[in-house]
Amino acid sequence: MTVVWDFGGVLFRWDPAALIARTLPHRITTQLDARHWKEQFFLSYRGEWGEYDRGVTTVADMVPRIAQRTGLTEREVQAVVDAVPDELQPITDSVRLLTALRERGHRLHYLSNMPAPLAAHLQRRHDFLSLFASGIYSSHVQLTKPDPAIFTLAQQRFGGDPADTLFIDDHPENIEAARRHGWQAQLFTGAQALAVELRALALIA
């Protein structure tokens, strides 16, 4: 079986509302405030941050645009950007599952919407990424999930039978895109639930 992993929110912690609450505490008094600023800042990854994921803008260009649009200061926006690398901490139980899949002989690849500076940070910092045979970062190919083109490219690079490929991601729209491409797909809601599903598929013991 080929198993394709998303990174943010699946293999690495990614809670942007909590990130903003920690970074801009003077802006946050309630969870509703945190959710509001998360949406304003990231625009469901369809605004400036989506362009950053796609590798078509830089931090220097993105920061003033987000500030102008949201009313945050450029210093506040930069502080959020600077805090992202530390937010992306490995999810220990997910790493255990990744290791178990590799030990069972499954082929591992990644398909992640990730800006190039963050991709480089993860590659430098985490030796367990060597468990992957290969992968695609969105910023390296100027394509992001759920664009069908990135799944086509991934299939070309990863090879194997699409029906024998399992994709793990925490966004329903990406899961649906993978299924339309002919892959099996599992919505990630937590490592414990994923372990149950992987055992049901007889992929791990």
Model confidence over 41-75: pLDDT tens digits? 999 999 999 999 999 999 999 999 999 999 999 99
Model confidence over 93-117: pLDDT tens digits? 999 999 999 999 999 999 999 999 9
- Residues 82, 144: contact at Cβ < 8 Å? no
Q: What is the spatial distance between Cα 17 and Cα 2, in angstroms, rounded to a whole number?
A: 32
Closest to 64 in 3D by CA, of 52, 42, 48: 48
Give the fold, CATH level 3, of 2-13+89-200: Rossmann fold (3.40.50)
Query: What are the sequence ranges of the domains in the chain?
Result: 2-13+89-200, 16-86
> How far is the CA of 126 from the CAs of 56, 119, 121, in angstroms?
26, 11, 9
Is the model's pTM score more than 0.95? yes
Count the neighbouring beta carbons within 10 Å of the beta carbon of residue 174: 23
